[in-house]
Amino acid sequence: MRAFWALFIASLAAPLAAGEPSLIQPIDCTLGETCHIQNYVDRDPGPGAADYDCGTLTYDGHKGTDFALPSLTAMERGVDVLAAAPGTVVGTRDGMADVAYSDETASAIAGRECGNGVVLRHAEGYETQYCHMKSGSVRVREGDRVGAGDRIGQVGLSGKTEFPHLHLSVRRDGAVIDPFAVEAGESCGGTGPGLWAAPPGYRPGGLIDAGFAAAIPDYDAVKAGTAARADLAPDASGLVLFGYGYGARTGDVIEIAIDGPDGWTFADSSGIERNQAQYFKAMGKRRTAGAWPSGTYTGTVTLRRGNAVIDRKTARMQIR
């Protein structure tokens, strides 16, 4: 472990070479809308964890950047993985099933935690590795030359992962590189340059989705993207608005507001009690008598951190 951290610290502190790659976003999505960054490289050399901005979007020993999709449904529709820089394919794997990691699957993927993936070699000893790709989606073979932005596969759920995402690792001469702050040393909060041609803005957490349901939905359905309802019946047993988010910190507050026909309103809030990589909150009302007013309902989920609004999502639903 000590030897690894020596390499890690050295790689993060090394000055940029003249031929370092200029990286583009390696996934065909819009950050903050159709994908988000769930985890960054862990900058803490000890047993703790901190991302490059000294935030909580990482975990101990994490060696890459995780570009996450909002749901399994989005994964099934297909989201392309793109070469982050020109290079040569030096390794591939395909054919591993898209199955969420669990204790039951651990032995089957031992030694293949990356899942289906691709390794590209670039100039000056740099490599990029793309993990957790969809089974059957890898489009390149060893020895192929690719350009920046070329499609090399699709985002999946293979290997050691519990949610659909692309894990991008950057290495130089085998040592881990943080593409967001190459020269920032072993700690967080540095101001050194990164490797991105257009650096993705840092988001300290946010909301992935919001939707309506007749009752508090099952979390698996929320993560799959199948929990939200576009329509409910006037005699639905309840009217619930949920918010699904990432990067929660202790003390964050989720606010729920629903505006319906004829001045019908509902509002509530709930605090976050501990740091959570992903989470969901649901609040609403049970039907006690009569029917829900027919028409359009607009729900707003707000994530607050202190006095700041971190993110906000809206959803609409019809009672008819």
**Domain boundaries in the chain?**
2-177, 206-319
Q: Which CATH superfamily is domain 206-319 in?
A: Immunoglobulins (2.60.40.10)
Residue 271 Cα distances to 38, 89, 252, 253, 255, angstroms: 21, 47, 6, 4, 9
Predicted confidence at residue 193, as pLDDT, reads 79
Q: What is the pLDDT of residue 4?
A: 26
**What CA–CA distance (Å, rounded) separates 287 from 285?**
7
pTM given for the model: 0.91
pLDDT of residue 12: 42
CATH class of 2-177: mainly beta
Neighbours of 200 (CB within 10 A): 16
Of the candidates 70, 26, 25, 28, the residue with the CA atom closest to the CA atom of residue 206: 70
257-to-200, 254, 267, 268, 282 alpha-carbon distances in Å: 30, 10, 4, 7, 11
Return the pLDDT at 189.
84
Backbone phi and psi for residue 5, each to the nearest 5 degrees, phi listed first: -65, -30
Stretches where the chain sits below pLDDT 70 are: 1-18, 183-186, 191
User: β-pairing, 87-93 with 206-213?
Assistant: unpaired
Sign of the dihedral defined by the CA atoms of residues 231, 236, 240, 244, in that order: negative
